[in-house]
A and B are shown apart, each in its own frame.
Chain A
Amino acid sequence: MNNSLPMKDVSTGTQNAPDQGTYAIELRDVTKRFLTPAGKAYTAIRDINMAVAPGEFVAVVGPTGCGKSTTLGLISGLERPSAGEVEVMGEPVQGIDPRIGYVFQADAVFPWKNVLNNVATGPLFRGQPKAQALERAHDWIARVGLTGFEDRYPHQLSGGMRKRVALAQTFINEPQILLMDEPFSALDVQTRTLMEDELLNLWSSLKASVVFVTHDLEEAISLADHVCVLTAGPATVKGIYTIDLPRPRKVGEIRFEPRFVQLYQQIWEDLRDEVVISYERAKQRGDQ
């Protein structure tokens, strides 16, 4: 794998940044290796270089299992890089940064807490007085449209509603950096479109920097300012594309615009090769 990044459309976050060194997130030559249970080293990502400017929405796409989630783990501080540097707000990541919010792929709301207490979890963990935390939780529950469901437990809600709880739970902490790991992949297509619109709404009021991992190119283009294509594992950056579609966007409609289709075709060219490689490898593993 060559390290000179073949950037197809070189306007990365780098050029949008107001000054050098003030990225919200910066990854420099980051490599992450895991030890497999068999005792072998497994390289999930290799020499990744990526930068996200403040307030920017970056989508990361790549074939299944290529190490997309690992990237988020490194930025959040849940994981440490094996080599290279990860910086958040100009400082190296050390442990979990309170300015970061993380929406997980699987349901990560607490099943033993009702909606109200789930949403209030962050402020309470961060030492806010209970009354204030609950008041803010009510406010956020209203903002994600769940008023009237405060005392329900997660198992009593639909998948889409549980995602709303997860969004409120994350947004209530007013993160400056928002990491999202295929948050809507478990939802049906209609609910998903609604949630994507909702996310754009919430994001526009929060102005956080977002890294949104997905395997769905359509979703990536609809939401992001930049789409970053990763190679089949070990993942490295194959290309970064600027999405010059105007905002505010309506996710359900934007995919019919000619510019969208054009961008889709262009990026898909790049992504398809990686998907094929990843698929062939999976097939080989299956044959052995």
Chain B
Amino acid sequence: MNTLSNQVNVPVAAPESEEVSVETIRARRRRRIVVNSLRVLILVVIIGGWQLLTSVGKPPLIDPFFWGQPSGIWQQIVTWVTQGTAQGPLWQQIAVTLEEAILGFVIGVVLGVIFGVVLGRNRFLADVLSPYIKAANSIPRVTLAPLFVIGLGLGFQSKVALAVVLVFFVVFFNAFQGVREVDRNLLANAQILGASQRRLSTEVIIPSALTWILASLHTSFSFALVGAVVGEFLGATQGIGLMIQNAGANFNANGVFAAMVILAAVALITEVLITALENRLVRWRPNTVSEVTI
């Protein structure tokens, strides 16, 4: 048995590989600087060009009244931050929309995972229900928004409901597929090792499908935001969607863009949080994937 333990190689960094790695690190750093500079350059060209084309010339090449202007958008944001919006302070609008989106997101994810795992494990039920699920999925679900307003009123419930419906299908299909893709060898192995049906679900199927489920969370949170905002378009007393709606009705192009910028910032922050959650939950995965993400 001793001979066997000797055969296991403890990884030791080879000394000659260090020089190479210094080279590689330097090259990588140089590349990163170039990439970041180019990114900034693109931003400057787009915003600067936009500003230039909407301000130089008489009349300017692009009419800022219809297409907005970066400086105007910035001013609008500053006004909202310092003086609040027509419906109240800015943070309150963000909080309302975020609350609707998060609530819809959580409910949609939980329902999606439950249905996905149950149908993924039960072939019979999946066969029976599949035409209805496909039909429901093919409906553009934003069109349900007026129904929710009729049924649930102008309060936050109708927005949450729309977010739930949008999130549910994304998560459901991924969870379902994830369960279907569970390695048959892993299942057989767990059964041989003595797993009960319940432990098969909790210790093999769900961890295995987790990669799929987590991948769906990225898209599905933006769907939740869409649900909340579209719900607010149709009638609300507060929220970013209402701000966009008001700005549009008042021909305030800068206002529409400013609200979009705020929404984008919110979406980016949540995206970072979801990625952090993902990295925590699937630590066991080889981290080659993270290098692909932009």
Contacts and interface: CB of A to CB of B under 8 A. Distances in A.
Across chains A and B, which 6 residue pairs bring their CB atoms closest together, nearest first? A145-B5, A108-B189, A125-B194, A145-B4, A122-B193, A112-B284
Interface SS of B by simple majority: helix
B4 A125 contact: no
Nearest to B210: A112
Interface residues of B, number: 30
Given A78-B188, A102-B188, A143-B1, A148 B10 contact: yes
Contacts of A70: none
B192 interface: yes
A104 B188 contact: yes
B3 to A, nearest CB: 9
B191 A96 contact: yes
A210 to B, nearest CB: 15
B194 A98 contact: yes
A155 B194 CA distance: 24
Interface residues of A, number: 38
Residue from A108, A153, A194 whose CB has the most chain B CB atoms within 10 Å: A108
B5 A101 contact: no
A125 B195 contact: yes
A107 interface: yes
Interface of A: 76, 78, 96, 98, 100-102, 104, 106-114, 121-122, 125-126, 142-149, 153-155, 161, 169, 173, 194, 198, 201
A113 B190 CA distance: 13
Contacts of B188: 78, 102, 104, 108
Interface of B: 1, 4-8, 10, 183, 185-186, 188-196, 199, 203-204, 207-208, 210, 282-286
18 contacts: A96-B191, A96-B192, A101-B192, A102-B192, A104-B188, A108-B183, A110-B203, A110-B204, A110-B207, A111-B284, A125-B190, A144-B4, A145-B6, A145-B7, A148-B10, A149-B8, A153-B283, A169-B189
Nearest to B283: A153
A149 B285 CA distance: 17
A179 B191 CA distance: 14
Contacts of B208: 112
B193 A155 contact: no
